[in-house]
Structures are given as structure tokens and as C-alpha cells.
């Protein structure tokens, strides 16, 4: 083990995620979350929810390092990476993105979230209508950005990779996302939007009208109502407490 890793021991190992002491510090107030915290949060959502365990056909979660590799790779290798994820039988592909321009180095300044509605004719698909266009039964990539359209370039880069993979058009929609009030909470917004999306799907599945075409519009209304700056601060504290608790239990 290198000296740097010895000085930065593993705090929690949970399924396919590892959180080190340095990663935990990114959950301190005013810090920008790193890849490992977002990866852990996604693993936790998948493995602690009975609903998701019972409905594994719903989501495919992709970790930030893999998303970054897809984004920065040439088209052929990106297509091979997407094939390896094996998500085509799922309904939604979850992709956290950031504006890092490096493949191997931790950098970047902003996180946002892409959700791909994979099966165009599944019960969750709706026909998105604006003043100019109607997109019937096509794959749609929803971009949730807590700083307006700051990650628009990155979202379009991922859209291009997905177009090549599917050999067809992917429509990118800039979704109505709650907006952060500072320069460091973007990673928390990604985590919380995913948590709320999973919760909303669970509630939506129990409704009688499963063919409601306004599914995503209603979800946008919901997150803009319930995700506030206070809630984001609360989730930051809760995630840190959870990881500290898991570390303490591991030592016993």
C-alpha cells in the first residue's frame, strides 16, 4: 500500500463503493462532494430499498468514474463501455456528470444529473410537448442541473455518446431543477434528486393511472416543492452521520 493510502484509510466499504477519510471530509460544510460519496449514495439507495430490490428492472445506476470515462473516451470505446453496463432491459439510466475535462484526475467544478428514459413505450413515458416540437415514443435524456444550464456542454457530450450507441436520436430536455444558493452543493442536489426520483417512482407505481403522460412534469413539480436549501443541508449532515455510524459499527 502506498504511503498516501496509508494516511487515508478506508472508512466504509459498501458493495461497490469505498469511502476513505478524505472522502468523508467533502461532506463538511461548504465542501464540494467527490466521486466516492456520490457512488456510495447510489449504492445505498439501491441496496437499502426493498422496493428497488424487488424491482431491479427499473434503474441502472452508473458511477461517476464510469460516466467520466464514457464521456472522455473515443466513440468506439464509449460504445463498448455502455454495452458492458447491460441496461437495455431497464427503464431508466442514471448518469451523474461533471465538467471535469480529465480522464484520470479528480477535478471539475460542477455536478449535475442525467436520467435517460430508455424504453420509449413503457408506462412512464410521456409525450413531451412545447411550442415547437412533439417527440412521440422516443428516448429522452432529462438533464437536472442545480445551476441553470452550467453543465449544458457536458450533457450534450453524453447525449452524443448515447446517440451513437442507440444509432438514433436522443432528445435532451433541460428539466426544471431546484437551484442551489451557493457554489458547492451541486453533488448533494444530484444525490437528493435521485433519492426523490426513486421515492416518486415507488409512489407512482402504486397509483391506478400508470399511463399518465405527465409523469416527469409532475416529478419536476414535486422536487421543486420539496427540495430546499435547508433540506440539502440536512441531507449533507445525515450522510456524514450515516457513514460515521457505519464506520463505528465496522470497528466493533
CATH code of the domain covering residue 203 = 3.40.395.10
pLDDT reading at 210 higher than 50: no
Q: What is the mean pLDDT of residues 87-111?
A: 87
Strands 140-144 and 171-174: parallel
- Asked whether residue 128 is assigned to any structural domain, the reply reads no
Q: Give the pLDDT band (50/70/90) at residue 4.
A: low
Mean pLDDT of 222-236: 98
φ and ψ of 94, to 5 deg: -105, 120
Mean pLDDT of 10-17: 96
Q: Which single residue is written with the C-alpha cell 475535462?
A: 101
Evaluate whether residue 3 is within a structural domain: no
Dihedral, CA of residue 185, residue 187, residue 188 and residue 193, to nearest 10: 120
94 vs 50: which has the higher pLDDT = 94
Determine, yes or no, domain membership for 5: no
Q: Given this model, what pLDDT does residue 251 score?
A: 63
Whether the pLDDT of residue 140 is over 80: the answer is yes
Residue 207 pLDDT: 60
Domain membership flag for residue 215: yes
More confident residue, 24 or 102: 24
**pLDDT, tens only, 156-205:** 999 999 999 999 889 999 999 999 999 999 999 999 999 999 999 988 87
In a domain, 124, yes or no: no
pLDDT at 85 over 50: yes
Please indicate, yes or no, if residue 197 is contained in any of the structural domains.
yes
Q: Report, as an integer, the average pLDDT of 5-19.
A: 93
**Are 127 and 135 in contact, with CB atoms under 8 Å apart?**
yes
What's the whole-model pTM score?
0.89
Whether 59 is covered by a domain: the verdict is: yes
Cβ-based neighbours of 158, under 8 Å, separated by 6 or more: 67, 70, 71, 95, 97, 114, 141
Is residue 144 within 8 Å of 177, Cβ to Cβ?
A: yes
Domain hosting residue 203, numbered range? 12-119+136-250
Contacts 24+ apart (CB under 8 A), 149-155: 149/174, 150/99, 150/110, 150/112, 151/97, 151/98, 151/99, 151/110, 151/111, 151/112, 153/99, 154/71, 154/97, 154/98, 154/99, 154/112, 155/97, 155/112, 155/114
Q: What are phi and psi of 129, to 5 degrees?
A: -125, 130
Each residue's pLDDT tens digit, 28-59: 999 999 999 999 999 999 999 998 988 888 99
Alpha-carbon span 224 to 4, nearest angstrom: 42
Number of domains making up the chain: 1
Domain annotation covers residue 222: yes
pLDDT tens-digit readout, 119-135: 654 334 333 334 444 43
Given this model, what pLDDT does residue 123 score?
38
Which residue shows C-alpha cell 430536455? 173
> Which segment, 2-11, 116-125, 141-150, is predicted with the most confidence on average?
141-150
Average pLDDT over the chain, rounded to whole? 88
Question: pLDDT at position 101, please?
Answer: 84
Q: What integer pLDDT is reported at residue 213 of this predicted model?
A: 62
pLDDT band, residue 250 (cuts 50/70/90): low
Amino acid at each position: 500500500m502506498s504511503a498516501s493510502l496509508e494516511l487515508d484509510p478506508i472508512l466504509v466499504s459498501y458493495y461497490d463503493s469505498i469511502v476513505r477519510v478524505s472522502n468523508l471530509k467533502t461532506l463538511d460544510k461548504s465542501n464540494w462532494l467527490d466521486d466516492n460519496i456520490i457512488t456510495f449514495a447510489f449504492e445505498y439507495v439501491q441496496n437499502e430499498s426493498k422496493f428497488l430490490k424487488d424491482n431491479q428492472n427499473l434503474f441502472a445506476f452508473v458511477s461517476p468514474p464510469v460516466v467520466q470515462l464514457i464521456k472522455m473516451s473515443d466513440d468506439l470505446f464509449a460504445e463498448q463501455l455502455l454495452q458492458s453496463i447491460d441496461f437495455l432491459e431497464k427503464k431508466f439510466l442514471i448518469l451523474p456528470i461533471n465538467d471535469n475535462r480529465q480522464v484520470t484526475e479528480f477535478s471539475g467544478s460542477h455536478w449535475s444529473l442525467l436520467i435517460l428514459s430508455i424504453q420509449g413505450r413503457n408506462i412512464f413515458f410521456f409525450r413531451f410537448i412545447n411550442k415547437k416540437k412533439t417527440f412521440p415514443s422516443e428516448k429522452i435524456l432529462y438533464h437536472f442541473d442545480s445551476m441553470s444550464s452550467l453543465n449544458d456542454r457536458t450533457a450534450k457530450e453524453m447525449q452524443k455518446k448515447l446517440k451513437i450507441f442507440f444509432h438514433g436520436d436522443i432528445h435532451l430536455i433541460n428539466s426544471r431543477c431546484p437551484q442551489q444558493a451557493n457554489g458547492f452543493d451541486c453533488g448533494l442536489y444530484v444525490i437528493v434528486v435521485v433519492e426523490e426520483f426513486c421515492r416518486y417512482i415507488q409512489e407512482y407505481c402504486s397509483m391506478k393511472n400508470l399511463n399518465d403522460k405527465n409523469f416527469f412534469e409532475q416529478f419536476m413539480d414535486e422536487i421543486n416543492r420539496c427540495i430546499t436549501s435547508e433540506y440539502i443541508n440536512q441531507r449533507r449532515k445525515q450522510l456524514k452521520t450515516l457513514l460515521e455510524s457505519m464506520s463505528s459499527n465496522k470497528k466493533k
